[in-house]
Structure 1
Amino acid sequence: MVYESGNPENSPNVTQDNNFKKIEEPEKKEGKNYEDWLPITSSRNAKWWYSAFHNVTAMVGAGVLSLPNAVSHLGWTPGVIVLVLSWMITLYTLWQMVEMHEMVPGKRFDRYHELGQHAFGEKLGLWIVVPQQLIVEVGVDIVYMVTGGKSLKRFHDLVCSTCKPIRQSYFIAIFGSVHFVLAQLPNFNSVAGISLAAAVMSLSYSTIAWGASAHQGQIPDVDYGIKSTSTADAVFNVFNALGDVAFAYAGHNVVLEIQATIPSKPDKPSKVPMWRGVMVAYIVVAICYFPVALIGYWAYGNSVEDNILLTIGKPTWLIAAANMMVVIHVIGSYQIYAMPVFDMMETVLVTKLGFTPGIWLRLIVRSSYVAATCFVAISLPFFGGLLGFFGGFAFAPTTYFLPCIMWLAIYKPKRFSLSWIANWICITLGVLLMTVSSIGGLRTIIKKASTYKFYS
């Protein structure tokens, strides 16, 4: 259901129903409300632990493997500061989104763009939020296609070192083929088992990454100096590293959609179990991120690859297992980020273009999406550059400062109050992060594209 904002006062808690004008009732399709068919709103029986492993799956992904490389470009002190600040800022902005989910009595903002419409207006909110959210979710799915294919190839090469080499493109295609089946699962709760397995895998391969690094110890003549060929190269590498960190600390793009699956009553609002799950998820994030980033950099210095599992060579069986864990994890992560995209596409097709909701619509729409992301991943498998570019261009706005802007627009905290100052600090840092990391990521993509042979 879409609403047009009136003129709410400083606190949404005093906003009355007459401040909102109903635009239109959800259209009935096949004798039922189409909202009961869409993947975000068709099931609201999730428990708090669903929130925990959905958020872990959304956040702890391919980005954790690039953190040692990011720290190698930033150096010890700046690297630690950036990691800690990002953990604190993103936890704060995630708390804001959980709070804003039901800020209007009797109304739930089940989707990111619905909250944007409330904050900025019906049309402007769509134009501000939807492009950013689509870039994030589609971009992540492309990166996870690349990650899944690369990890699958790495697993094959480790367990069968004497086998004939197989092109990376084929492994990306193999990874993508799994999603033609999984994409047909109807909603968030139906992928709960896959998401739980993915969350367990993320914790497992992160532990292997830092545990194997610690066990092997520092490499001979380890170098902690900034690796670059010139000052300009060093600066651009720092920009790209900031994008890697932004990519790693993201999950906000699906947080409202995850919270929408949790039941809510006046005496038991959804924010209580959602926040409990978020706190568990962020503890897991800290357990995964800080040891991988710092121990990985300590062990390998500036010689660490943009995926630390590529740097760790022994024991072979353990690294092979870790790569397969990555494959399982990104299978779940792909589905978590794809579900809101499916929701958007199916909403438009049903409400705007008059399609009848059903299995054939889902089969065609979702299969087309999987095929498109797989094709782009095969064509542009620049892992490090993609992380930096998408992390800066899309994740920074929707994770670091867009929730703060919406909070200021809706709650209107008193100027120079603690809330006002905290939000403006996050906005300033987020805008800077978006600008510099987008530049660094795009430069990395261009550099790698100049030497890359397509479909090799």
Structure 2
Amino acid sequence: MVGAGVLSLPYAMSSLGWGPGVTVMIVSWIITLYTLWQMVEMHEMVPGRRFDRYHELGQYAFGDKLGLWIVVPQQLIVEVGVNIVYMVTGGQSLKKFHNLVCPNCQEIRTTFFIMIFASVHFVLSHLPNFNSISCISLAAAVMSLSYSTIAWVAAVDKGIQPDVDYSYKASTTPGVVFHFLSALGEVAFAYAGHNVVLEIQATIPSTPEKPSKIPMWRGVIVAYAVVAICYFPVAFLGYWMFGNSVDDNILITLNKPTWLVASANMFVVIHVIGSYQIYAMPVFDMIETVLVKKLNFTPSFSLRFVSRTTYVAFTMIVAISVPFFGGLLGFFGGFAFAPTTYYLPCIIWLAVYKPRRFSLSWWTNWICIVLGVLLMVLSPIGGLRSIIISAKNYKFFS
């Protein structure tokens, strides 16, 4: 659950301000916990059947063809978007680690660090399933908790900066508005577990006496407690210490203590290695299903090797081309994460369970849907503008 998006939360706070920022953080936590509960509940809502993929849930609610077209493109954009962002994150964190450990060494371009990070995935992408990456996932979970803690502890240790400024970073009204919209997407990006939750729940044994939703919901509660422990201190304390001078990745802002910040950046690298695979696995499954069932390729090691290697290479090339962490988070957070995380589970819930009109469940779901749609429409505008502005001063493949 705890993704690299946590590192951008102080930057998002600097664009939102104290009041809206705290409100958006808490409301997002509540809404996404609610929609995640819905997905856990709907996994086995039909006796004797399990919806092991997000699109299967959509097909049951909207019909085979329409459900596929509603869910799959959105889920695919989310998973590919996360993989691209994690390529950028891994490369930037490796570069920061190198610069801290060897400050007098020759400057190495970010491009090469992204390629080094990608080289790991050219190997790991050939592991067969979620269970085979459980050790990597465990290491990623420990790392995410570690670097999140280091981020806010190091910020507090550095103390409030003498020239700290809590006003908006942009000096013009359009700038303030667009930064605000992009920040909404950055917060949305931080809550990303919904897109693989059914695949994860599918790995849990289930019987009528002990359905999988019981242990799964316990896991979700623990995960969201950890999310709160990680996200809120990083967002609020990071912004409190640095104000609007914080970078879009707080670990880039921090430099001392050197050994601690260097360790945190390496923890980020280990974490996004595991997270990349978590989000890539469903994409591999989709690609191979299309190749075998639609294009009549014969299932083989060669097919698997070529398709997975090609996908990793694609995400690497895009990451090298647009390595703008904050802008990518704002764009993908709103455009892709808002539908699958904030309101699509609510629409499916209304379609399947049909709660009584104007009941508490009806109102709750409709409020989530309205807020989610606004987020999806508005925040990509800010994120895209941020990417365009960053691209003006960027040398391709630099």
Q: Which amino acid aligns with 2:125?
A: A
Find out whether 1:218 has 2:157 as its counterpart. no
Name the residue aligned to 1:83.
Answer: 25
CA distance in 2, matches of 1:353, 1:259: 30
Find out whether 1:227 has 2:205 as its counterpart. no
Name the residue aligned to 1:118.
Answer: 60
CA distance in 2, matches of 1:365, 1:322: 33
Q: Which amino acid aligns with 2:281?
A: M
Which deviates more, 248-257 or 398-407?
248-257
Contact 2:100 2:255 in 1 (8 A): no
Structure 1, unaligned runs of 5 or more: 1-58
Q: Which amino acid aligns with 1:268?
A: K
Name the residue aligned to 2:338.
Answer: 396
Per-residue deviation, 1:167: 0.8
Contact 2:43 2:50 in 1 (8 A): yes
Find out whether 1:65 has 2:3 as its counterpart. no
Bigger proportion of residues as helix: 2
CA distance in 2, matches of 1:351, 1:103: 28
Find out whether 1:196 has 2:150 as its counterpart. no
Structure 2, unaligned runs of 5 or more: none
CA distance in 2, matches of 1:438, 1:255: 24
Name the residue aligned to 1:136.
Answer: 78
CA distance in 2, matches of 1:108, 1:173: 39
CA distance in 1, matches of 2:70, 2:187: 23
Look up the SS of the partner of 2:263 in the other structure.
helix
Which deviates more, 405-414 or 59-68?
59-68
Look up the SS of the partner of 1:109 in the other structure.
coil
Per-residue deviation, 1:359: 2.2
Q: Which amino acid aligns with 1:116?
A: G
Per-residue deviation, 1:361: 2.0
CA distance in 1, matches of 2:59, 2:188: 25
Look up the SS of the partner of 1:305 in the other structure.
coil
Per-residue deviation, 1:263: 1.0
| 1:54-453 superposed matches below 5 A | 59-453=1-395
Look up the SS of the partner of 2:117 in the other structure.
helix
Superposed CA deviations along residues 25-57 of structure 1, whole A, max 9, x for unmatched, are xxxxxxxxxxxxxxxxxxxxxxxxxxxxxxxxx
Q: CA RMSD in A?
A: 0.8
Per-residue deviation, 1:67: 0.2
Per-residue deviation, 1:382: 1.0
TM-score of the pair, normalised by structure 1: 0.86
CA distance in 2, matches of 1:275, 1:366: 32
Q: Who wins on radius of gyration, i.e. which is larger?
A: 1
Per-residue deviation, 1:352: 2.0
Q: Which amino acid aligns with 2:284?
A: F
Superposed CA deviations along residues 121-169 of structure 1, whole A, max 9, x for unmatched, are 1100111111100000000000000000000011001101111111100
Per-residue deviation, 1:221: 2.1
Q: Which amino acid aligns with 2:348?
A: M
Per-residue deviation, 1:197: 0.1
Per-residue deviation, 1:450: 1.6
Per-residue deviation, 1:365: 1.1
CA distance in 2, matches of 1:189, 1:275: 19
Name the residue aligned to 1:46.
Answer: none
CA distance in 1, matches of 2:134, 2:109: 33
Look up the SS of the partner of 1:82 in the other structure.
helix
Identity over aligned residues, as a percent?
76
Look up the SS of the partner of 1:222 in the other structure.
coil
CA distance in 1, matches of 2:156, 2:338: 31
CA distance in 1, matches of 2:378, 2:290: 34
CA distance in 1, matches of 2:222, 2:285: 27
Look up the SS of the partner of 1:245 in the other structure.
helix
Per-residue deviation, 1:372: 0.7
Look up the SS of the partner of 1:135 in the other structure.
helix
CA distance in 1, matches of 2:201, 2:297: 28
Per-residue deviation, 1:355: 2.5
CA distance in 2, matches of 1:262, 1:350: 27
Look up the SS of the partner of 1:333 in the other structure.
helix
Q: Which amino acid aligns with 1:366?
A: R
Q: How many pairs align?
A: 398
Look up the SS of the partner of 1:366 in the other structure.
helix
Q: Which amino acid aligns with 1:241?
A: A
